Chain A
Amino acid sequence: MRHSLTSLFSRFFATLILSALLFACNNSGSSNQSSGEKDLAGTSEIYDDTASVSFKEALEYREKIQAALTAPVPILKLTDSCTADQILAQELCLADNNFLKYTRDSVSKSAYRNEVFNVYKARESDLSKQTNSACADGGCYKVELYNFALNITTIGLVNIKSKQVIQVLHLPQTQPEIPSHLKQLAITIAAENEHVQKALGFKPGEKDAVMSATKTALNKSRCERSMHLCVAPTFVKNNKALWTIVDLTDLRVAGIRWTNVGVGGPSVTERKLQNEKITECFCKTETVLKRNGWKLGYMLTSSDGMRVSDVSYNGVPVLSSAKLVDWHVSYSNSDGFGYSDAIGCPYFSTAAVVAIESPRISDLIEDGKKAGFVIEQNFYSEGWPNACNYNYQQRFEFYNDGSFRIACASIGRGCGNDGTYRPVLRIAFAGQSNSFSQWDGTNWKPWNQEQWHLQQANTAYTKEGYLFKIDQAGGQSWFVEPARGQFKDGGRGDHAFSFVTINKPGRDEGESDLVTIGPCCNTDYKQGPEKFIEPNPEPLANEALVLWYVPQMKNDDTKGYEYCWAESYVKDGIISTRKFPCFAGPMFIPAKK
């Protein structure tokens, strides 16, 4: 059996996978283009796989961060050309409990990464009615502290003559002007980056980021989704400017994009870059992939997640298409409370949870050997893993022996620990004359008309674990093996509703993008596909068939037993996430002729 050979769990969590981003329109731009700004959208590149930089300046900075994290007051102080007065102002603030309020996690007491960005003499405009009198002697300074983990700026107003902290403000989602050493570091990170060098055609120096055309070397940028501190060193080549978004929280390049020099327009930010890249490369066009005997097309849809289509193996058509129509999430403690989420493209779509990263393609490794390949796509709510935000994954596994698995997972976190996820998978088989049968404990019993089935404790399987069989006109047959915890991916079983319907030409029952197919909270078979069966089921014999597969995964937040869950924790002063995916989905195994 497939699962007896695999160590799928390790595939997901170990480093065996040699992951590579798929760039369907991998055009990193050319400085000789004379394109309009709109056309330059195709030059967007996002890098979710780039490691943190490791050159000398970055390593030295990291050492300082680590030292600050272990200090009694976990703050990296400002030392750039500070006067004695500035140092005193800083020290006064660092001794104030209110100023230090957000420097550690309130529960675990783990230190956050904090750094004083600026200390300067308070200007008249910095003062208010409340603070005017306390600063009348001219002794007031402002101290700006940035918390990289929480994206909070704390501003202390301190009088160095009276040695009093006058006022402390904590400003969420606010970032102060970055200090000169971080500006320099950002430029170096950009200049040292291979993608930047490749796009420019040369390795830029610091001076290349300083140009009159854009007035400043460091354009303002934002990382709206990651909530990280980002800036954009910009390099000009001929009549184009290459924006490089540098993530100073992770110390890496997050993406690049060409723009026209001198054209006033929106700044290049993380969200815009991601939306452009995903839209241009994966939402507008289908990519054809040929690998290991398999041939297929894949693209992101408006509301049905990632769709693979025209799948064939060694030239034999296997699937017309496969996609994920809806995620139904219901919460048992609140009757009727939940969501029916579509997943899909980030721009112009009916998706509630959207793709912000490119699809990933990687080798499937079994027992240390390449056994096939996998295509994965994640869809995120922007606030994930905070409560009521979601992260869904689609996963298509294609094996060298002709088997394949259509899987999906929720990675939490949702609105509570009483949630049940019901993804609706639509799998349309190739060919116009298929038949479908179910193992009844003794024989394969044909389904004569459109119907549904629930996988339960008393469901009969073959000794290999097969439940259904699809026979195609050309003589090829496929066994369907539902997940029952055997795939070693952490999954605890599908408990799936399976529906089979006819895929009639001229009658669109989900072949094109489907809007929301069903409500959030039905616990029975009424998940949406029954609409195409009731009230008059049609005969199935010798028709093109669609298998609708709706697994049911109950989440769990019990320590050590988490499932469909995610939680935040502090690592190296930054918020990280522990993921507990609940994978589900059937394996399809070719029957030997």
Chain B
Amino acid sequence: MKRIHFFFAASLMSLLSCNEPTEESGTGVQIIPDCRRLSPFVTSVGFNAQRSAFSTSDRKIKGLTLVELSATAGVENRVYQHPSWKQAGSMGPIVITEDGSVYAAPIPVVNVLENDPLKQNIIYKVDPTSGEMKPFIELPSAEKPTAENPFGILGLAYDCESGILYATSVSGSTRNKEAGRIFSIQTKNEPKVIDIIEHTDAMGVDICYFNEQKTLFFGKTRTSDIFSIAVKDDGSFKGKPVSRFSLEGVGPRGDDKARKIRFDKTGSMIVHGVEFYYNLIAPTEKQETLYQFIYNLTEDKWENKNKGPLLQN
């Protein structure tokens, strides 16, 4: 059995939108339509877009890869990597936009040999036509990174309506000081930070309309809590973060942190929970658990639908 580099690897990120419905009446949650589009270069390298996906979880290939799932049983998947896709070392979160641009961020896995601790707060962009990956924006850390904490950006989300990118980062945080930040970032025209939530270490992040207010949800990394904050049309944050619920005591480990948050077509929040203590442990088995939370509009609370992990058939 091989040690799996699972932790932050964004599982395969499909290239095509699922055309999910935008509103679920009566749930209090309205999802923002998925706008992912095929990157033109995918077909130019001879990959079938219907069966292709971006990945940062290949155990033997560091960085970003494009995987074409085999249509035939027993035949290995095809994998493509542009020469520029390994410049950042191991990578983690990925988002794809309406023009096929891909945004991704580095995350060290097992060690920092190819992930310079001073370069973990850079978002990279893959050009949809040429496929070349270049630094898109370096996010400002509140504190200088230290040897205590090898991490920077941990989560990405993209608002298809506004073209605003959201990033969580724990860069500069230490045992004694929570110095992480959540950024909203302009992607149209010149890249620019629009707004920052200070002193907040977070990982998984996603955006939706919640009680008719555009709202960013994020999972904290020092506790198992899920928070939300209202977002204005211009991408700036409104008010203070509000604690919504916690993964504490839930699931096989009981101390999971939300690595990834996504809303499904029913308005449920799907949370990918992992162990996270700001170190580089890499367990053999994939220690990630999916949880499904549903908003109870009447009682104004999020309920764990399965009283534990989401049971998948």
On whether the beta carbons of A266 and B255 are closer than 8 Å, the reply is: yes
Looking at B21-29, B136-144, B246-254, B291-299, the stretch in contact with chain A turns out to be B246-254
On whether the beta carbons of B110 and A349 are closer than 8 Å, the reply is: no
Q: Does A572 sit at the interface, judged by CB under 8 A?
A: no
A342-353: contact bitstring with B at CB < 8 Å (1 yes, 0 no)?
Answer: 101111111111
Q: Does B111 sit at the interface, judged by CB under 8 A?
A: yes
Q: Does A383 sit at the interface, judged by CB under 8 A?
A: yes
Q: Does A204 sit at the interface, judged by CB under 8 A?
A: no
CB distance from A275 to the nearest CB of B (A): 6
Cα-based distance from A353 to B224 in the complex (angstroms): 23
CB distance from B26 to the nearest CB of A (A): 25
On whether the beta carbons of B113 and A340 are closer than 8 Å, the reply is: yes
Report A130-147 residues with CB < 8 Å from chain B CB. Answer: none
Q: Given A266-B224, A271-B255, A515-B147, check contact A383 B111 (CB 8 Å).
A: no
A275: B residues at CB distance < 8 A: 277
CB distance from A40 to the nearest CB of B (A): 16
Cα-based distance from A224 to B248 in the complex (angstroms): 13
A271: B residues at CB distance < 8 A: 255
On whether the beta carbons of B248 and A266 are closer than 8 Å, the reply is: yes
Report B264-295 residues with CB < 8 Å from chain A CB. Answer: 275, 277-285
Report A374-430 residues with CB < 8 Å from chain B CB. Answer: 381-383, 386-389, 415
B173: A residues at CB distance < 8 A: 348
Size band of the interface chain A makes with B: 35 or more
Q: Interface residues of B: mostly helix, strand, loop or mixed?
A: loop
On whether the beta carbons of A342 and B148 are closer than 8 Å, the reply is: no
B123-161: contact bitstring with A at CB < 8 Å (1 yes, 0 no)?
Answer: 000000000000000000000000111100000000000
On whether the beta carbons of B279 and A350 are closer than 8 Å, the reply is: yes
On whether the beta carbons of A348 and B148 are closer than 8 Å, the reply is: yes
Q: Does A516 sit at the interface, judged by CB under 8 A?
A: yes
Q: Does A527 sit at the interface, judged by CB under 8 A?
A: no
CB distance from A125 to the nearest CB of B (A): 10
Q: Does A173 sit at the interface, judged by CB under 8 A?
A: yes
B278: A residues at CB distance < 8 A: 347-349
Q: Does B174 sit at the interface, judged by CB under 8 A?
A: yes
Q: Does A184 sit at the interface, judged by CB under 8 A?
A: no
Q: Does A509 sit at the interface, judged by CB under 8 A?
A: no
On whether the beta carbons of A266 and B279 are closer than 8 Å, the reply is: no
Partner pick for A516 among B1, B112, B277, CB 8 A cutoff? B112
On whether the beta carbons of B279 and A351 are closer than 8 Å, the reply is: yes
CB distance from B163 to the nearest CB of A (A): 35
Q: Does A512 sit at the interface, judged by CB under 8 A?
A: yes
On whether the beta carbons of B283 and A381 are closer than 8 Å, the reply is: yes
On whether the beta carbons of B117 and A351 are closer than 8 Å, the reply is: no
Cα-based distance from A337 to B249 in the complex (angstroms): 37
A258-285: contact bitstring with B at CB < 8 Å (1 yes, 0 no)?
Answer: 0000000011010110010001000110
CB distance from B10 to the nearest CB of A (A): 20
On whether the beta carbons of B175 and A352 are closer than 8 Å, the reply is: no
A337: B residues at CB distance < 8 A: 60
On whether the beta carbons of B284 and A348 are closer than 8 Å, the reply is: no
Size band of the interface chain B makes with A: 35 or more
On whether the beta carbons of A222 and B117 are closer than 8 Å, the reply is: no
B113: A residues at CB distance < 8 A: 340, 516, 518-519
Q: Does B223 sit at the interface, judged by CB under 8 A?
A: yes
A93: B residues at CB distance < 8 A: none
B232: A residues at CB distance < 8 A: none
On whether the beta carbons of B1 and A513 are closer than 8 Å, the reply is: no
On whether the beta carbons of A381 and B249 are closer than 8 Å, the reply is: no
Q: Given A348-B279, A352-B281, A383-B283, check contact A269 B111 (CB 8 Å).
A: no
A515: B residues at CB distance < 8 A: 111-112, 117, 147, 150
A386: B residues at CB distance < 8 A: 1, 284
CB distance from A358 to the nearest CB of B (A): 18
A353: B residues at CB distance < 8 A: 281
On whether the beta carbons of B283 and A382 are closer than 8 Å, the reply is: yes
A439: B residues at CB distance < 8 A: none
Q: Given A347-B279, A350-B279, A415-B2, check contact A266 B223 (CB 8 Å).
A: yes
A531-550: contact bitstring with B at CB < 8 Å (1 yes, 0 no)?
Answer: 00000000000000000000
A389: B residues at CB distance < 8 A: 3, 283-284
CB distance from B171 to the nearest CB of A (A): 13
B147: A residues at CB distance < 8 A: 302-303, 350, 512-513, 515
A224: B residues at CB distance < 8 A: 253-255, 275
On whether the beta carbons of B223 and A340 are closer than 8 Å, the reply is: no
Q: Does A341 sit at the interface, judged by CB under 8 A?
A: yes
Interface centre among B2, B60, B248, B279 (most CB of A within 10 A): B279
A120: B residues at CB distance < 8 A: none
On whether the beta carbons of A174 and B252 are closer than 8 Å, the reply is: yes
Cα-based distance from A518 to B114 in the complex (angstroms): 10
B1: A residues at CB distance < 8 A: 386-388, 415
Look across to chain B and name the residue whose beta carbon is closest to the beta carbon of A174. Answer: B252
B229-269: contact bitstring with A at CB < 8 Å (1 yes, 0 no)?
Answer: 00000000000000000001100111100000000000000
Look across to chain A and name the residue whose beta carbon is closest to the beta carbon of B308. Answer: A174
Cα-based distance from A190 to B282 in the complex (angstroms): 34
Look across to chain B and name the residue whose beta carbon is closest to the beta carbon of A275. Answer: B277
A352: B residues at CB distance < 8 A: 110-111, 279-282
Q: Does A220 sit at the interface, judged by CB under 8 A?
A: yes
On whether the beta carbons of A173 and B252 are closer than 8 Å, the reply is: yes
On whether the beta carbons of B148 and A388 are closer than 8 Å, the reply is: no
On whether the beta carbons of B175 and A347 are closer than 8 Å, the reply is: yes
Partner pick for B175 among A279, A350, A354, A513, CB 8 A cutoff? A279
Cα-based distance from A346 to B150 in the complex (angstroms): 13
CB distance from A128 to the nearest CB of B (A): 11
On whether the beta carbons of B3 and A388 are closer than 8 Å, the reply is: yes
On whether the beta carbons of A387 and B284 are closer than 8 Å, the reply is: yes
B285: A residues at CB distance < 8 A: 383
CB distance from A479 to the nearest CB of B (A): 34
Q: Does A452 sit at the interface, judged by CB under 8 A?
A: no
Report A61-109 residues with CB < 8 Å from chain B CB. Answer: none
A174: B residues at CB distance < 8 A: 252
Cα-based distance from A354 to B277 in the complex (angstroms): 11
CB distance from B279 to the nearest CB of A (A): 5
Look across to chain B and name the residue whose beta carbon is closest to the beta carbon of A331. Answer: B2
Report A271-321 residues with CB < 8 Å from chain B CB. Answer: 271-272, 275, 279, 283-284, 302-303
- Interface residues, chain A, CB within 8 Å of chain B? 173-174, 220, 222, 224, 266-267, 269, 271-272, 275, 279, 283-284, 302-303, 337, 339-342, 344-354, 381-383, 386-389, 415, 512-513, 515-516, 518-519
> Can you give 6 A-B contacts (C-beta < 8 A)?
A222-B253, A337-B60, A340-B110, A348-B173, A349-B148, A352-B281
